[in-house]
Structure 1
Amino acid sequence: MLDSSSPSGPDVAATAALPATVYLIAVGAFALGMASYVTAGLMPMIASAFAVSVAMAAQLVTAFTLAYGLGSPLLVALLPARAQRCGLLIALGVFVLANGASALAPGFSSLLAWRAIAGIGAGVYLALGIAAAAGVSAPQQRGKAIGAIMGGMAGGTVLGVPLSLLLAQQLGWTAALWLVALLGALALAGLLWKLPALPAASSAPAIPLRRKLALLADGRVLAILLVSLLAAIASLGMYTFIAPLLAWSAQGAAMSSTPFLWAWGVGGIVGSVLVGPWADKVAAPKLTLFILALLALALCALPLAAGWSAWLMLAPIVLWGAAGWALQVPQNQQLLAVRARQGDGNLAIALNESALYLGSAIGAATGGVLLLLDWPMWLLGASAALVAAAALLLQSGLARRS
Structure 2
Amino acid sequence: MRQVLPLLPGMVALGLDAYVVAGVLPEMSASLQQPVPAVGQLVTVFTLSYALLSPIAATLLTGKPMRVVLLSALAVFTLGNVLSAVATSLAFLLLSRVIAGFGAGLYSPMSAATAAALVAPERRGRALALITIGLSSGTVAGVPLGLALASHVGWRGTFWLVTALGVVAMAGVAVSLPAIPPAAPPSLKARLGVLADRHVLSIVLVTVFSTLTSLGTYTYIAPILNRDNVTIYLVIWGVGGLVGNLLAGAVIDRWRDTRTLMGVLLTVMGVSLALLPVGPPGLLVFLWGASAWSCPATQQHRVMAARPAEGAVAVSLNASAIYLGSSLGAGLGGMVLAGGGAPASLAYGFGGLAVAAAVLNHLITARPVLSSA
Shorter-normalised TM range: over 0.9
Q: Would you say 1:299 and 2:281 are equivalent positions?
A: no
Deviations 1:261-304 (A, max 9, x none): 22222221221122111111111223222212211221222233
Query: CA, structure 1 residues 400+346, in 2 after alignment: closer, same or farther (shift >3 Å)?
Result: closer
1:147 pairs with 2:129: yes
Which one is further off, 190-199 or 179-188?
190-199
Q: 1:370 to 1:54 in 2, by over 3 A?
A: closer
For 2:18, give the aligned amino acid: S
Give the deviation of 1:168 after TM superposition. Answer: 2.5
**How far off its partner does 1:161 sit?**
4.1
RMSD (Å), alpha carbons:
1.8
CA distance 1:352–1:314, shift in 2 (3 Å): same
Deviation at 1:256, TM superposition (A): 1.3
Task: Using the TM superposition, give the Cα deviation of residue 390 of structure 1 relative to its aligned residue in structure 2, in angstroms.
Answer: 1.7
Structure 1, unaligned runs of 5 or more: 1-17, 306-311
Q: Which residue is 1:309 aligned to?
A: none
Partner deviation per Cα, 1:173-193 (whole Å, 9 max, x = no partner): 111111111112111101101
Q: Measure the CA separation in 2 of the matches of 1:316 and 1:399.
A: 30
Equivalent-residue separation in structure 1 for 2:368 and 2:75 (angstroms) = 41
Superposition deviation, residue 128 in structure 1? 0.2
User: For 1:140 and 1:237, how far apart are their aligned partners in 2?
Assistant: 34
Secondary structure (helix, strand or coil) at the match of 1:159 reads helix
CA contact (8 A) 1:286 1:399 kept: no
Residues 1-400 of structure 1 mapped to structure 2, 5 A cutoff? 18-20=1-3, 22-199=4-181, 202=182, 204-247=183-226, 252=227, 255-283=228-256, 284-305=258-279, 312-340=280-308, 343-397=309-363, 398=365, 400=367
Q: Distance in 1 between matches of 2:76 and 2:2?
A: 25
Task: State the shift of 1:48 in Å.
Answer: 2.1
From the superposition, tell whether residues 300 and 106 of structure 1 become closer, same or farther in structure 2 (CA, over 3 Å): closer
Q: Which amino acid aligns with 1:316?
A: L
Is contact 1:155-1:269 (8 Å) kept?
Answer: yes
- Deviation beyond 4 Å, 4+ runs, structure 1: 399-402
Structure 2: tracts of 5 or more residues without a match? none
Does the CA-based 8 Å contact 2:225-2:276 persist in structure 1? Answer: no
What is the alpha-carbon distance in structure 1 between the residues aligned to residue 231 and residue 62 of structure 2?
Answer: 44
CA shift for structure 1 position 160: 4.8
1:125 shift after superposition: 0.3
Tell me the distance in 2 between the aligned counterparts of 1:374 and 1:112: 31
2:44 and 2:327 in contact (8 A); partners too: no
Does the 8 Å CA contact 2:80/2:97 hold for their aligned counterparts? yes
Give the direction of change, closer, same or farther, for the CA distance of 1:109–1:380 in structure 2 (3 Å limit).
closer
What TM-score comes out, normalization by structure 2 length?
0.93
Percent identity reads 40
Aligned partners of 1:142 and 1:280 also within 8 Å:
yes
| Cα distance in 2 between the residues matched to 1:245 and 1:276 | 31
Instruction: Calculate the TM-score normalised by the size of structure 1.
Output: 0.86
Pair 367,53 (structure 1): closer, same or farther in 2 beyond 3 Å: closer
Q: In the TM superposition, what is the alpha-carbon distance from 1:89 to its structure 2 partner? A: 1.3
1: distance between equivalents of 2:136 and 2:351? 22
Deviations 1:104-142 (A, max 9, x none): 224332221111100110111001001101111122221
Query: Does the 8 Å CA contact 2:62/2:313 hold for their aligned counterparts?
Result: no
Computing the radius of gyration from Cα coordinates, the structure with the larger value is: 1
Query: What CA distance in whole angstroms lies between the structure 2 residues aligned with 1:245 and 1:393?
Result: 25
Task: Write out per-residue CA displacement over residues 6-61 of structure 1, whole angstroms, 9 at most, x where no aligned residue.
Answer: xxxxxxxxxxxx123x1121111011111000011122222222222222211211
Inter-partner Cα distance in structure 2 for 1:365 and 1:50: 24
Are the equivalent residues in 1 in contact too, given 2:238–2:289 (CA < 8 A)? yes
Deviates more, 1:22-31 or 1:45-54: 45-54
State the aligned residue count: 367
Q: Distance in 2 between matches of 1:49 and 1:210?
A: 49
Report the CA distance between 1:260 and its aligned residue.
1.9
Structure 2 distance, partners of 1:138, 1:117, is: 34
